[in-house]
A and B are shown apart, each in its own frame.
Chain A
Amino acid sequence: MSSEQEQESIRCLVAKVGLDGHDRGAHVIARAFRDAGFEVIYSGLHKAPEEVVQAAVQEDVDVLGISILSGAHDTLVPKIMDGLEEYGAKDDTLVLVGGVIPDEDRPELEDAGVSAIFGPGTSIEETIEFVRENAPDR
C-alpha cells in the first residue's frame, strides 16, 4: 500500500457529441477502460462541443475520447479542439476519435490535433494499449 502516497490513475472522458444517438460503442469503450484500471467519466448523449470542453477542463482528464457516428466530425471535432485551446488544455490532452470517419477526412482531424482515429474493427486492446503508451505525462 505504499502507493497510497502517490497514486495516479489515467483519467478519461468518453464523450458523445452532437445529434448522434448511437452510444453502444461509447459504453463498450467506457467499460473496457474501467476494466483496464482507468477512471472514466462518461458525458452522456447529445452533448454540445462546449459541454465536452467544460467537462474535459474541469475533470482535468488525460484522455478525451470522442465517439461520433453522425458524420458531423469535421465541424464538431475542430470546435472541441478550439475550446480546449481556449482553456489551455489542448497541448496536454490526448484526443482520440472513434467512429466512422472516411479516410479523406482523417488528415484534417489530425491537423486539428487529434492524436488517433479508431474506425470500425479496431480491437479494444489496441485502443487501451495506445492510451497507456501515449497518455500525457504530467
Chain B
Amino acid sequence: MNADDEALLEDLLDGEHRALARVISKIENRAPGYRDLVSALYAHTGDASVVGITGSPGAGKSTLVDKLAEEYRDRGETVGIIAIDPSSPFTGGAVLGDRIRMASTVGDMDVFVRSMSARGTLGGLSTATADAVKAMDAFGKDRIIIETVGAGQNEIDIVRTADTVAVLVPPGSGDDVQTLKAGILEIADVFVVNKADRPGSDRTVQELREMIELDSGSGFGGGGHHGADAMDDHGGSAVATQESAEDDAPESWTTPIVETVATDGTGVETFIDELAAHQRYLVDSGARVEKAQQRSAEEIRTLLREDVHAMLESELERAGGIDDLADAVHRGETDPYTIADEVLEPVRSCLGELETENTE
C-alpha cells in the first residue's frame, strides 16, 4: 500500500467522512491499490449488522430505508446506506435518485448515504457493494442498509451480501407475485407489504402467507416454517408429528410479513423488531457463521473469476483482439468454440506443466 492510501485508511478509521467517501470511490473505480486497501479494511470489520432491502421499482424502498435510518438514529445507532440504481446500458450514465427520498435524516452526518450505479458490470457490482459495506463497517457504522432494485440475478447477489434480506411487495401486485415467485421472493427473510393503506393490501398479505405456507408444506422450507396459528388448525395427531418435526429443526425461521406505510412511518417499529428477531435467530441457530462462510466463499470465487477474466482479456488482445476474431467468425473462417480453445491453449499448457511439477 502506498503512503497516500495508508493515510486514507488512517483517516477512515479515525472517522473522517471524506476518507470513507474516497475509499468507496476507489472501490467503485477499481482504482490502483484498491485491493490492498480493502484487504487492510478486513481487520476492522465484523461489527455492523447488514440489512438488504429490495423490491420492484416504486415499491417504496427508499422511503422505508429513510424511516428505518431515522428510527435507528433515534435509538442512538449510526447508519450507513448504500443505494443502488441501474445505469443506462447505452451510455453507462445514470441518475441516482434514491437520495431524494432520504429526507428525514439530512444534515445528520452519522447517516452516510452513498449512491452507486451498476456501471454495467457482470457480477462486479456485487463485489464493489460487498467491499463498500466493509468500508462502512470498518468506519464504525452500527447498521448498514443496502437498497437495490430487485430486477435480476445481479441485484439478488447484492442483497445476499446482507445478513437479513427484506423484500418489499406493493399491494395489488397480484400476478406480479407469481412472476416474482422464482426470483426475489425466495431470498426474503422478511416480507414487507408497503403502502398497506392502499386497497388490495390485505389480498397481497394473504397471497404471500399462502405462498409461505405452501413452501413449508412442500418440504422445501425444511419443514419448520409453520407458525403457531397453523399448528392450531391441525388435529391432535397432526400436532404431535408437527412437533417432532419442529424438534429436528428447533431454530427454523418463518418468514414474517410486515405491513408498513413508509410515508408516515406506520409499521416501521414492527419491521425493526422483525429484523432484530432475524438477527437473533441467525446468531442462535449458528446460521450467521454459516452465512458468513458462504459469503466469503462467494467473494473468493467472484474475485478469482474477475482476475482470470482480466488475464484472459489480455490474452485475447494478443490473439488479435475480439473484433478481428468476431469478424473471422462472421466470414465463416472459424467458429467461437475453436477460438475459445485457441485462446485458452497457453493457459491450459501452463496449468498442465504445473500439475506435472507437483506430481514429480
Contacts and interface: CB of A to CB of B under 8 A. Distances in A.
Do A and B interact with each other, yes or no?
Answer: yes
Interface of A: 1-2, 4-9, 11, 30-31, 33-44, 47-48, 50-51, 54-55, 57-60, 87-89, 138
A30 B17 CA distance: 25
A48 B107 contact: yes
A138 B28 CA distance: 14
28 contacts: A1-B313, A2-B314, A4-B306, A4-B309, A5-B30, A5-B306, A6-B29, A6-B31, A7-B29, A8-B29, A34-B88, A35-B91, A37-B92, A39-B87, A39-B117, A40-B93, A40-B94, A43-B100, A48-B107, A51-B106, A54-B106, A55-B99, A55-B113, A59-B99, A59-B115, A60-B22, A60-B24, A60-B25
B291 interface: no
Given A2-B310, A58-B21, A42 B95 contact: yes
A4 B30 contact: yes
Contacts of A59: 21, 99, 113-115
Contacts of A40: 93-96
Interface residues of B, number: 39
A44 B217 CA distance: 47
Nearest to B11: A88
Contacts of A50: 107
Nearest to B80: A58
A3 to B, nearest CB: 9
Given A1-B309, A2-B310, A58-B21, 13 more contacts: A2-B314, A5-B306, A8-B31, A9-B119, A37-B92, A39-B87, A40-B94, A42-B97, A48-B107, A54-B109, A55-B99, A57-B21, A60-B18
Interface string B160-198: 000000000000000000000000000000000000000
B38 to A, nearest CB: 14
A54 B107 contact: yes
Contacts of A5: 30, 306, 310
A57 B95 CA distance: 18
A7 B97 CA distance: 21
Nearest to A32: B93
Contacts of A35: 88, 91, 93
A110 B208 CA distance: 58
Contacts of B119: 7, 9
Contacts of B310: 2, 4-5
B112 interface: yes
B114 A30 contact: no
Contacts of A42: 95-97, 99-100
Contacts of B109: 54
